[in-house]
Amino acid sequence: MYEKDGRQYFVVDGHTHFWDARPENRNRYGEGFIACFYDYHRNLSPEEYVWDKEKYDRYSEEDMIHDLFEIGYVDKAIMQPTYLKDFFPGGFNTTEQDAEMAANHPGKFIVNGSFDPRDAERGLDELRRLKETYGIRGVKLYTAEWKGDSRGWKLSDKEVEPYFELCQELGITNIHVHKGPTIWPLNRDAFDVADVDHAATAFPDLTFIVEHIGLPRLEDFCWIATQEPNVYGGLAVAMPFIHSRPRYFAQMIGELLYWIGEDRILFASDYALWQPKWLVEMFVDFQIPEDMQGELGTISEDQKAKVLGLNAAALYGIDVPENMRLAASTEEVAVASQPVSPA
């Protein structure tokens, strides 16, 4: 929970990891991958929040708990696995690794799973196991992940349909999809957002959270999300620009509010790329610059509260303390009080 000027904000960090990028768990591709991550961390963080590379490769469990929950204001963190076993033989950040962390700290984390349609029937069995073992309510999909000779896949591939159908059957309704900046050595085209349109239309009962809001394809994402009501935007990677490029961040958040609205935007630190403490503090203090407000408008405290945690809480059924909920609007109260007509 974060408090500023007498207002309390419930915080859900929608995109966190507990990764293992130590030299003994990476090949040359893994070395390049984590080096690319580190460049993002080093170049977009305030100086006092920059770690040395050795810590960044494998931070401790204590580091993560301290940074998220002790000083980072986070009430609940969602762990999003990214396996990448072609680069990190032991797994970069698996459901099992995340679940072990969560078990050590009850009530702090929500653990998501993953699937890869290239695993065919074996992958469907694994998805069932993840649901049975961990009770997952969401999956993180990494369409650019390498697997043998394959350099990625698309949400529109025919092989994906049985996985989405199984997600519906099992109640795994939150589909987080990595659609962001290219990370070496992954292929740029595999991050394209166009396939989200197909999947969201075909599976309206699933919620597609486009992580990293499709950057640098924000315009494409907005045009898709505005016509697909089950498409949300995750702010991981977008958030740190609030420090390094505040006008760029203003443009992004303003466009999102205009196109998809305040109810479908989710805060995320992308820990350990960045730490939630400074992101939350800066976001609560942030306002779209006055000379941009004529086109982009402003962002209110209620909108910030939704983005920081209330929207994710609604998706995951997280109980929010009453004093941090938003009061129902007059219109909502009026509708709720109307008698129901008999069929």
3-state secondary structure 17-60: CCCCCCHHHCCHHHHHHHHHHHHHHHHHCCHHHCCCHHHHHCCC
pLDDT in tens, 102-142: 999 999 999 999 999 999 999 999 999 999 999 999 999 99
Residue 256 · residue 213 · CB < 8 Å: yes
Whether residue 332 is predicted with pLDDT greater than 80 in this model: the reply is no
- pLDDT score for 327: 80
Is the pLDDT at 183 greater than 80, yes or no?
yes
Q: How large is the average pLDDT for residues 279-305?
A: 97
**Which of 262, 197, 281 has its CA nearest to residue 4?**
281
Question: For position 117, what pLDDT does the model report?
Answer: 98
Output the pLDDT for position 330: 39
Token pair recorded at residue 104 = 């050590």
244-277 pLDDT, tens digit per residue, is 999 999 999 999 999 999 999 999 999 999 999 9
Q: What is the pLDDT of residue 182?
A: 87
Q: How confident is the model at residue 188 (pLDDT cuts 50, 70, 90)?
A: confident
Is 336's pLDDT higher than 90?
no
Instruction: Answer yes or no: is pLDDT of 311 > 90.
Output: yes
At residue 328, the pLDDT reads 66
Could you tell me the domains of the chain?
Answer: 10-337 (3.20.20.140)
* Mean of the per-residue pLDDT values of the chain: 94
pLDDT digits (tens, 9 = 90+) for 38-50: 999 999 999 999 9
